[in-house]
Structure 1
């Protein structure tokens, strides 16, 4: 039985096009600076968790509740795969001297969803690029993910899919 390839290499022109569309791509991935990009949060919560009295909602929750939260995100990731081409970043080479950032395209839904599953040790555990919707989507460990966009109107389909999956859109101040 032949193993299905989850990621494929891009041709140079497609990779260059994505870099031009998202000049702060590496910065967003490394959580440094997102330039002029807009930012929203997609969360299982309908509001920001800011008071100490609500911190218990972030951890020490039951297994069933965590599975329900994870399923909402997984449903959203799957819906995104079904409507557009998605890409991600990988580092290749020896760090730090020969390290190179490369863009890969997801080609297998099952492999992609396996990489989307919650991994508490890795933050962010998923980072995708959606050129069609002019946005970047970065997962986080705290049941709130981050969407960066150049044009909010173009990103609306991603937000609509989030709502259908039971997630809430939170605005940054």
Structure 2
């Protein structure tokens, strides 16, 4: 079950992640302001060339490789859930963003749907991580983004990603 958050939790989120809504919506003006920086975690150990991308991103027919990639991102989600409070968001009527907190790891799995992750899926979830002053966003190409305000605070996230077998790309 996913529950509503308390006023204290909302206050912590707003304090540690100013303008978090604009980050989630990837509003250009906020991104250009430099308030948030981004770092990438990926199954790849380098930025792919166009030629490499067409060969290495689309592995949907290779079930073993697909499962291995899914497992890495799933492990990140599991370790983050064990380590800190995770919050999700959703839009309600009139584009009102509402934050929710998963009450169990099963809630996280349901939201992320790792068993259906494939080369072109993405943008299904963001983890709002106030303790780390970060937002972890799923992308489509086996590379996710960590938006952050303080690089020192995201060190635990980067360690989790590396432990899961993912690579850090800047």
Q: TM-score range by the shorter chain?
A: 0.7 to 0.9
Range 100-109 or range 38-47, more displaced:
100-109
Q: Partners in 2 of 1:104 and 1:111 — Cα distance?
A: 11
- Report the alpha carbon displacement of residue 169 of structure 1 after superposing the two structures with TM: 0.4
Report what 2:135 is aligned to: 136
Report what 1:101 is aligned to: 97
Report what 2:64 is aligned to: 64
Give the alignment's Cα RMSD to 1 decimal.
Answer: 1.8
Q: Name structure 2 gaps, 5 residues minimum.
A: none
Report what 2:18 is aligned to: 23
- The answer to which structure has the higher helix fraction is 2
Aligned residues of 2:59 and 2:66 also touching (Cα < 8 A): no
Residue 81 (structure 1) aligned with residue 81 (structure 2)? yes
Deviations 1:136-158 (A, max 9, x none): 10011210000011111111000
Q: Name structure 1 gaps, 5 residues minimum.
A: none
Aligned residues of 1:44 and 1:168 also touching (Cα < 8 A): yes
- Report the alpha carbon displacement of residue 23 of structure 1 after superposing the two structures with TM: 2.5
Residue 112 (structure 1) aligned with residue 108 (structure 2)? yes
Q: TM-score, normalised by structure 2?
A: 0.86
Q: Partners in 2 of 1:128 and 1:54 — Cα distance?
A: 26
Match of 2:6 among 11, 16, 19: 11
- Report the alpha carbon displacement of residue 128 of structure 1 after superposing the two structures with TM: 0.7
